[in-house]
Amino acid sequence: MNNKFRVLAVDLGSRKSKIEYFDTRRQWLGGSGLAAGLFEKYARFDKEPLHPDQPVIFAIGPLTGLFPLMSKTIMSFMSPYNGQYAESHGGGRSALALKFAGFDALVITGRAKRLTCLGFGANEIHIQDVHYLKGMDIFKTGKTLRNFKPKNPGHRSILRIGPAGENLVSYACVNVDTYRHFGRMGGGAAMGAKNLKGIIISGDSTHDLNQISVKEYNKTYKEIYTIITQSNAMHKYHNLGTPENLIPLNELKALPWRNLQSTHDPEIESISGEKFAQDQLLRQVACAGCPVGCIHIGLLRERFGDDHEYLYRQVSYDYEPIFGVGSMLGVTSAPGVLTLLEDVEKLGLDAISAGVALAWATEALEKGLVNEEQTLAPLKFGNVGAYQQALDHLALRTNDFYTELGKGALKAAEKFGGEDFACVLGQEMAGYATGENYYVSQALGFRHSHLDTGAYSFDQEETARDVQKSIDYMQNQEYYRILMCSMAGCLFGRKAYPKENILKALNSVGHEFSMEELDETIRAIQAHRWAIKFKTGFKPEEVKIPKRFLEVETWKGKADPDYLFRLKDEYQKVLQDVAAKHSFEKDREKEIEDT
């Protein structure tokens, strides 16, 4: 099988594009590995994060379109949130559309003169002026862009940004096919800085299956498909979906409430997964190529007349967004949560970051650090109407206060006070107040995501505070997750894809690896990703873990500061050692010249 990646490179400044062949599958695998390899090639390490020359990259994996749940696209970019190399993962139809357009990756550089939509398929590319979409929300933008390419909607993917992305809010997201997102670290602003309102990918060709060993492929596919569909492995994701976690985490005293002032609340019943399923659930949908269908769509009704007149809308919900704009903001009604999620969606904000930032703002207002002239809305835990106003201000950067808040809660706190209760661990926290291992994992994690290592599970299993055991767990988990993300696979599919199954799947479609070779490649990708993160300014010793994380009661009681900071110190040394194993291409060239 051709070992090179086929990459579409588009320069929006010059309106030129070309197809490149980038080495090699053996070196980069795909997904996260490929995104990092391309980033090293295209990034301008000497320029600011939103400089037009910085690349925005979308990469898929070697199993995309060939195996179930291999449905993700990896977006990589220089994050406007912290100025560092960042990855964000999205699903929908994006991965399959890119595959059937015939590309392993898309690299976008340059800044368009006017607001633009990029459209491409296997044999065509358009860079279209869409200045009339300026300020338009995600839904209306989607409707307009769908009309550009009305045929074969099942093979087409539409990525777009809302007002938050255009206004360069540091945690603006990219919406994918309405119900999925490149959510975290500000991919929406990275697109906004390029004047890029949307991308339409038409998966309008077939792909070359010549190298597939049909017998081996069918056998491996069947094995994996059977685990996914006939075991219990994926049942929870389809049934209640990730909101199934709300009640157990609340019972465990690990669900952040009201800006992490507590971790448990009796009001949980009104926003639990069960409550959503019973009263709001309309249907489940799936990313292309996934038989699970974990995306839960809720029905939101809004009465607009004295008679029984209703507007209705369909809003997707998951555990993290319910935590972000629900428990964290003290909103305890399912329709209230959906109302805020719909606004977040329209504006193109990341639901977790926006919710956590507004939770900080609410407490800052309560404590008198800011006033209502600054917040422009009577922020109060549980006040849905006030949060609706605040979300608009956040996306539109209405005043100085919201401009600062749009950079993140900790940045706003540095200016207005209240750093102790900014619930930020590298970025706004995800919904797991499980203990020290998780706090350190998110604070120092590669993506500052709960998915970097899954240390929230380790916290729930382990009462012992053992630094080495925790580091071993995080390192093992990170290793596996880099493998899975270099396949651009959905991390919900972990049980179906142990390392052995990934190897079998790769070999069955013509990507010959031994286990040792695969291991070597993953270790190299791991070192490379960390080296880039350090090169773009990551200083783990400067990452703060605010006091609130030490004050709140978890199921283990309060966090132990001695253990937490020992773990942080030791883990940062491990990451520095991992990064040191990589030397950049230019450094290598220099070494060759020197010798």
Give the binding site for ligand SF4 (CB under 6 A): 69, 71, 91, 237, 286-287, 290, 292-295, 490, 492
Which residue lies nearer to ligand SF4 by CB, 91 or 454? 91
Distance CA 525, CA 21 (A): 19
The CB-of-283 to ligand SF4 minimum distance in angstroms stands at: 13
* 3-state secondary structure string across 464-487: CCCHHHHHHHHHHHHHHHHHHHHC
Of 69 and 487, nearer to ligand SF4 (C-beta) is 69
Helices and strands, number each (H, E), in the chain: 25, 19
Q: Pick between residue 296 and residue 465 the one whose CB is nearest to ligand SF4.
A: 296
Cβ-based neighbours of 562, under 8 Å, separated by 6 or more: none
Q: Least separation, in Å, of the C-beta of 526 and ligand SF4?
A: 23
What is the smallest separation between the CB atom of 545 and ligand SF4, expressed in angstroms?
Answer: 29
With tokens 């498909």, the residue in question is 225
Query: Which residue in this structure is represented by tokens 């320029």?
Result: 47
Q: Are 205 and 100 in contact, with CB atoms under 8 Å apart?
A: yes
CB of 320 to ligand SF4, least distance (A): 12
Q: H/E/C letters for each residue in 292-334?
A: CCCEEEEEEEEECCCCCCEEEEEEEECHHHHHHHCHHHCCCCH
- Burial degree of 14 (CB within 10 A; 0-12, 13-18, 19+): exposed
**Among residues 179 and 416, whose Cβ is nearest to ligand SF4?**
179
DSSP state of 555: T
Q: Which is nearer to ligand SF4, 72 or 197 (CB)?
A: 72
Cβ–Cβ < 8 Å for 548, 260: yes
Name the token pair of 189: 């602003």
Check the CA dihedral 235-445-79-402 and report its sign: positive
Paired with 88 in beta bridges are 75
Q: Please, what is the minimum distance in Å from the beta carbon of residue 65 to ligand SF4?
A: 13
Closer CB to ligand SF4, 92 or 406, in the complex: 92
Cβ proximity to ligand SF4: between 293 and 537 the closer is 293
Cα dihedral sign for 286, 287, 292, 295? negative
Q: Which is nearer to ligand SF4, 286 or 331 (CB)?
A: 286
Report the nearest approach of ligand SF4 to the CB of residue 361 (Å): 30
